[in-house]
A and B are shown apart, each in its own frame.
Chain A
Amino acid sequence: MRAPSSNEAALGEILLAVEDVSLSFGGVRALAGVSFDIRKGEVRAIIGPNGAGKTSMLNVVNGFYRPQSGRITFKGEVRTSMRPYAAARGGIARTFQNLALFRGMTTLDNILAGRTLKMHRGFFWQLLRHGPALKEEVEHRRRVEEIIDFLEIAAIRKIQVGRLPYGLQKRVELGRALAMEPDLLLLDEPMAGMNLEEKEDMSRFIIDVNQQYGTTVALIEHDMGVVMDLSDRVVVLDYGRKIADGTPDEVKRDKDVIRAYLGEPQ
């Protein structure tokens, strides 16, 4: 349990601002005029019933989907159309509901892959490997080993990720995202499919990431206990619309939120 912080000003300036974003697929309205912001250093939860548009929201931030209207401002710059790799370069990292690991590679290689943007030794040096390219590899290997220690996955680092159990795969995916040293970490249901012990571990990792590294975290989660414990602020979506925005306590008591989850009182 962490003490809820209620002082908004202490959380820093706005890192990401979503303004009036609307997204449709054919006839299906995924998002309708959603606006909220994420402040530097906070843990922001995005919650809502199934189909509310939470994953679509993350996909828009990431650059996978282009919204029909609205705009995203990241680090002060307005980005109307962002390709996924541009988002990566900008400092946004992401994990997925259904895992997006490189199944043919080992844990170590997967997390090393996250260091791609930080590796600069050119093609010519890669041809030789010995020399500058290898030095760079070792340097990044060191950083990756820190992440591996942090996530307590040292025992499985040489195992092909396709063979790992689900909970560990999720950890590896988190490791890969952390390897990017992102400014904004987007987590899509990081606790999905986990048992209590795994959830506690994952929560601990998220808190540590946020407090030790100062990484801003936005997470989609269904487990209300986790949301209440971890997040500084919460935004609630329902049917593509924002229906509440505030601290966990405020949101918990909001009538619209209760109605969205539990339905109308009979």
Chain B
Amino acid sequence: MLYREVGQYKSSYAADMAVFPILQDRIGVAVILLVAFVVLPLVSSNFLLNTVLIPFLIFSLAAIGLNLLTGYTGLLSLGTGAFMGVGAYACLKLTTFFPNVDVIVWILASGFVSAAVGVLFGLPSLRIKGFYLAVATLAAQFFLEWCFIRIPWLYNYSVSGAIEVPLRTFMGVPITGPNATALTRYLIVLSIVVALTWVASNLVHGRIGRMWMSVRDMDLAAELIGIRLFHAKLLAFAVSSFYCGVAGAMMVFLWYGGAEADVFAIDQSFLVLFMVIIGGLGTLIGSFFGAALIYILPIALRTIPSAFGLPIRPAAAEQLTFVIVGALIIMFLVVEPNGLARLWQIGKQKLRVWPFPY
């Protein structure tokens, strides 16, 4: 009853092709943005911001990056962790060389470095397909991991071998380092993620999104309608790595505050891949759903039982997460291979006719 399109006529193609053609959807998005920018800052504790919201946003961005490559273009990548790492180390070097330039600029610029590396390691995709390509991305992952450890210049020769994030401010407010409040960091991360999500949405709804999906669905046919495969694939690697790079830079600078190289190990690649699979390949909203589920689940497992008085050891909680995530993946693939995003879509369909059954 609420979610009806009755009376909403599209009198132009532009209106029909809008990202959120249904009025209720537009209202929904506005509400979400309002909650994110205004309500949450007012009510959230530091714990909520630091442990839930900020990482959720960062992982969502990484998931969007991987989704663009694997979900929209069909190029399976196991190198997400490494590309995130490239962004983080690039940001460190850039802000070390130019400490007076806003670190936010460098966070975004590090995406470009990551994009370049992504294109380099994406070159094999011109010859190699499917699982074989996944192995090529593994080469990128392991090689870059090795670089992160073995090239001391990358982590500014710090004795610990880890990235030590220098103190930076934005318009007088500290945003990195111990003085940066969780709220400040949250708002910056939120702004960046919202902006980049908007950009990703623009891309996938237009000719570039169609180009990628054509390559995914049948690359021979894509060539036939005039798409140059190498252009499409390398662009996918570039844009995807950009997003992962920015996510990685934000992870180190605006969340952890420092990082060791193993943060960008292959486990991270798997984690983001699971987010994308469960969330829904080839959807943007799925990236958010997947990040929410995969990231929040272990936290829920840790905190909720103790709220009921049944403490679980943190190690056991993590292991239980593995078990549940693993089982969830299989279950999702059986029940709904298109992930949470499809369930959401089906839900909306049902909502359209609610309270009638059909």
Contact flag (A, B; Cβ within 8 A): yes
Residues in chain A within 8 A of chain B (CB atoms): 62, 64, 83-85, 87-89, 93-94, 96, 100-105, 109, 112-117, 119, 121, 123, 126-130, 133-134, 137-138, 141-142, 145, 176, 180
On whether the beta carbons of A88 and B226 are closer than 8 Å, the reply is yes
On whether the beta carbons of A129 and B205 are closer than 8 Å, the reply is yes
Would you give 23 A-B contacts (Cβ < 8 Å), ordered by A? A64-B220, A83-B223, A84-B223, A85-B223, A85-B228, A96-B221, A100-B220, A101-B217, A101-B221, A102-B217, A102-B218, A102-B222, A104-B282, A105-B214, A109-B210, A121-B207, A126-B203, A126-B206, A127-B202, A133-B202, A137-B13, A138-B13, A180-B225
Chain A positions within 8 Å of B201 at CB level: 129
Mask: chain B, 126-166; 1 = CB below 8 Å from A; 0 = not: 00000000000000000000000000000000000000000
On whether the beta carbons of A126 and B208 are closer than 8 Å, the reply is yes
On whether the beta carbons of B208 and A123 are closer than 8 Å, the reply is yes
Chain B interface bracket (under 10, 10 to 19, 20 to 34, 35 or more): 20 to 34
The 10 A-B pairs with the shortest beta carbon distances in the complex, nearest first, are A129-B202, A88-B226, A100-B221, A102-B217, A117-B226, A84-B223, A141-B13, A138-B13, A119-B207, A85-B223
Selected from A62, A104, A123, A138, the residue in CB contact (under 8 A) with B12 is A138
Chain B positions within 8 Å of A102 at CB level: 213-214, 217-218, 221-222
On whether the beta carbons of A89 and B226 are closer than 8 Å, the reply is yes
Chain A positions within 8 Å of B352 at CB level: none
Q: Which residue of chain A has the shortest Cβ distance to B211 in the bound complex?
A: A116
B315: interface (CB < 8 Å): no
Chain A positions within 8 Å of B220 at CB level: 64, 84, 100
On whether the beta carbons of A127 and B13 are closer than 8 Å, the reply is no
Selected from B12, B17, B202, the residue in CB contact (under 8 A) with A126 is B202
Chain A positions within 8 Å of B205 at CB level: 129
On whether the beta carbons of A100 and B218 are closer than 8 Å, the reply is yes
**Additional A-B contact list (13), CB under 8 Å, known A102-B217, A105-B213:** A87-B224, A88-B225, A96-B221, A101-B218, A104-B213, A116-B207, A119-B207, A126-B203, A128-B202, A129-B202, A137-B13, A145-B13, A176-B225
Selected from A93, A133, A142, the residue in CB contact (under 8 A) with B13 is A142
CA distance A83 to B220 in the complex (A): 11
CA distance A156 to B213 in the complex (A): 19
Q: Which residue of chain A has the shortest Cβ distance to B227 in the bound complex?
A: A116
CA distance A117 to B207 in the complex (A): 10
> How many pairs, one residue from A and one from B, have CB atoms within 8 Å of each other in the complex?
106
Selected from A93, A100, A126, A138, the residue in CB contact (under 8 A) with B207 is A126
B216: interface (CB < 8 Å): yes
Question: Assuming the A-B contacts A101-B218, A127-B199, A138-B12, are A113 and B210 also in contact, with contact meaning beta carbons closer than 8 angstroms in the complex?
Answer: yes
On whether the beta carbons of A117 and B223 are closer than 8 Å, the reply is no
Chain B positions within 8 Å of A84 at CB level: 220, 223-224
On whether the beta carbons of A113 and B214 are closer than 8 Å, the reply is yes
> Smallest distance from the beta carbon of A211 to chain B beta carbons, Å?
24
CA distance A156 to B181 in the complex (A): 53
B307: interface (CB < 8 Å): no
B14: interface (CB < 8 Å): yes
Selected from B203, B216, B223, the residue in CB contact (under 8 A) with A88 is B223
On whether the beta carbons of B213 and A109 are closer than 8 Å, the reply is yes
Chain B positions within 8 Å of A128 at CB level: 202
Interface hub of A88, A96, A101, A102 (most chain B Cβ within 10 A): A102
